[in-house]
Amino acid sequence: MKLFVRFFCIVLVLSLVCTCVYAEGGGIETTAKSVILIDSATGEVLYEKNPDERLPIASVTKVMTMLLCMEAINSGKITMEDTVTASEYACSMGGSQVYLEPGEQMPVSDMIKAIAVASGNDASVAMAEHIMGSEQGFVAAMNTRAKELGMENTNFINCNGLDEDGHYSSARDVAIMSKELIKHEQILPFLKIWMDTLRNGEFGLANTNKLIRFYPDAIGIKTGSTGKAKYCVSGAATRNGLTLIAVVLGAETTTDRFETAKALLNYGFANYSISEPVKKGEEIANIMVLKGEAESVKVITGNGYVKLVPKGADGGYERKVNLPENVTAPVNKGDKAGEIVLLKDGTEVAKVPLFYAETVPRLSFGKIFVNMLKCWGYNND
């Protein structure tokens, strides 16, 4: 009997914690002020509620902070191995932090880990100063990048998300910058960390994003919470080639933000899949090369073509390949060779450019002469 009572209590607790957030009619019941679910590959919106409402987003702000860090690395402005020195101002941030001391030094990789896992406000400002010289300069760059990405309901006042008047974003804009961030493969291992350390193992880190631990195939991205913002999360997951991003802003409880995010992701994976009629880097043909050092050259796709479709549908695309029968050398790798025209129900829906995968130099006069001799039988064989 005692065992039965214990089992019943466990089931009851789980039912309260893991609340069902599906409402009648297929909607998602949540206390959150704003939510959105998008496909990361296409940006297509699969579910939304007040997606453009301007709201405080707390530490979800750091999605843009990390994006600018990754772009600085990709551009060669900084490297993961660079040493970052914490200023007195960076160390004064308070809130979530890794307790940097003025003058303390860490490599860029550890600072990014501190931002991604521990949501370090101090590390965020230290990186801002390292990249742009000041937090103000970095925040200006954040706002410029937001405009470039088409984030129409965002204004950053700081780089860490501490509550300040005029600092806001929207679920749609958070999804846009999250989509851009996870394009950078170097950031993904940091976003997926559940527990780790800094300072040679002396300082422990624990991620507040429970999706990493409790949602299959999750990509963490970022949580945030303050008195004004309440509980927020931008989370993603990948299954069968489909990556979805769920954003939840202004939830009343931490449980609700994660349950809502999981419900959004579950809805997306249950109802949609990826159709890829043209794959990235797909080899399409070999074209004959005239007057070249090679007889033929490979032709491949660039980014390919990806489309979100209802689960079970294949997209129904017809491919028409437009390529010349031959090409005259020289041929340069990366030059456009032709295109694939995609048709659906006889109507053109997209053109996918094709590129030469190799460089084929033009034959020199000497090599042409030797080839002629070989054709005439004057060789050493």
Q: Which of 33, 40, 49, 62 is catalytic?
A: 62
Q: Where do the DSSP E strands lie in 119-264?
A: 195-198, 203-206, 218-226, 230-239, 242-251
Helices (H) and strands (E) in the chain, counts: 10, 17
Contact 63, 222 (CB under 8 A): yes
Q: Which of 59, 96, 170, 178 is catalytic?
A: 59
Q: Is the peptide bond before 277 cis (omega within 30 degrees of 0)?
A: no
Q: Which of 40, 87, 119, 225 is catalytic?
A: 119
Query: Does 62 participate in catalysis according to the annotation?
Result: yes
CA of residue 279 relative to chain centroid, distance: 19
* CA 136 to each of CA 111, 132, 139, 169, 228: distance values in angstroms, whole numbers, following the listed order: 19, 9, 5, 18, 23
Q: How many CA atoms lie within 13 A of 74 on its CB side?
A: 12
Among residues 202, 354, 343, 220, the alpha carbon closest in space to that of 279 is found at 354
Query: Does 119 participate in catalysis according to the annotation?
Result: yes
The residues pairing with 155 across neighbouring beta strands, listed in sequence order, are: 168
Among residues 39, 3, 33, the alpha carbon closest in space to that of 246 is found at 39
Contact 116, 65 (CB under 8 A): no
Contact 265, 244 (CB under 8 A): yes
Contact 126, 87 (CB under 8 A): yes
Query: Does 59 participate in catalysis according to the annotation?
Result: yes
Q: Which residues are catalytic?
A: 59, 62, 119
